[in-house]
Amino acid sequence: MSDPEFGEREYLCYRLLAELDEAAPNAISRSKFHKLSCLVARHLDAEFDHDAGLPRYWYVYGEVVDERTLEGEFYIAPSANHWPGRRYLPADDVCDWHFAVPDERKAVVDEAVDWAVERFASSNAEAIGKHFYRKHVPNEFVRTYNRLRERLERVDLDEQSTLGDFGMTDHSTRGFVVDSLERMVDTYPRDDYPEAYELFVEWHDTVELLVDADDPDYAAVEEFLDSFITMLSKVELRFHHRQHIPDERIRAWEDERLDAKETFAAKLTEKRRDLLDGRSGVPPDRPDREGPADSPGDASVSFSRRLDSFD
C-alpha cells in the first residue's frame, strides 16, 4: 500500500484492534469494537483529560463509532465465521508509524487501550454493554427502555414465565412491562427530545393495547419497542449525544429525520388499526382512550392520563 498518514482517532482504534487481536480468545465483533473504542475515548477524557477526537454517537441501545468519518484503511472487516456479521482486525500492512500522532499522545492512548484490553478482552459485547449502561447512560429514560428490552429478550415465550432471574418473582411479565412503561412516562426528557414526543405518546398507547390482550404477545412488544427506539435514535438520540461528528454527517441525519418520523407514524397507524379491529365495539378510527371508562375499548392497563398530564 502507499504510505497513509492516519490521525489520532484512527490510532486509538488501530491499537485497540491490535491489542485485542493478541489478547482476546474470540474474534472481535462489530459491537465489541464499537463499545470498547467508545470506552477508551471516555477513559481518556475522564482519567487523562485527553480528547482523541473519536467520532461517536448514541444509537438505539449504545454508543457507536461513526466509521464513515474514520480513514478506514487501517482495519479490515471480513464476514464472521460463526455468526451473521463481521469481525474486525487491524490491517496487516499498517504499522504504528503510519499514524501522524506525537509520541507523547500515542503513549496516553496506549495506556487507555491497555486499561480496556486488560479489563474487557475476554468479555462479550453484552457484558461490555452492561458496564456502559452502569457508567455512561445518557439519562434515566434510556436506562429504563434498555432494561425493558433486556427483560423482554429473556421472556420464555412458550411458558410466558415470570422474570425471576431479575428478582421479579412477585411480578408477572405483564406487571413488569406495565411498571417499565410507567417509568418511561416518568422519565421521558420532553424538553430534550421534543421531536419524538407525540410519537412516544401514540406508541405508548399502542403498547398499552398489546399488553392488555388476554394472552399478550411479548415478542410483538419487543419488536415494537425496537422500532420505536430506532426511530428515536434517528430523530433525537444521535443529535443530542454525539462527539466529533462532522457537519456533513449531521446534515445527512437532518435529511433522514422527517422520513424516520413519517415511516414510524405510518407503522403506528397500521398497528393501532389492527389492534382496535380485534377489540369488540371499538371503531378502528376512534382511539379507545376517548371512550367512557367502562366501555369495551377501555384498556385495563391505562397510562394515557399520565401522558396527558405532561401537557
CA-based end-to-end distance of the chain: 60
Residue, of 172 and 252, whose pLDDT is higher:
252
Q: Which pLDDT does position 76 carry in this prediction?
A: 95
pTM comes to 0.83
**Alpha-carbon Rg of the chain, whole angstroms?**
23
Question: Would the pLDDT of 214 be above 90?
Answer: no
Q: Which pLDDT does position 164 carry in this prediction?
A: 43
Which stretch of 81-85, 191-195, 202-206 has the lowest confidence by average pLDDT?
Answer: 81-85
Secondary structure letter of residue 58 according to DSSP: E
Cα–Cα distance between 201 and 146 in angstroms, integer? 18
Question: Would the pLDDT of 159 be above 70?
Answer: no
Residue 154 pLDDT grade (very low, low, confident, very high; cuts 50, 70, 90): confident
Cα–Cα distance between 11 and 14 in angstroms, integer? 5
CA distances from 48 to 51, 114, 252, 280 (A): 9, 14, 33, 63
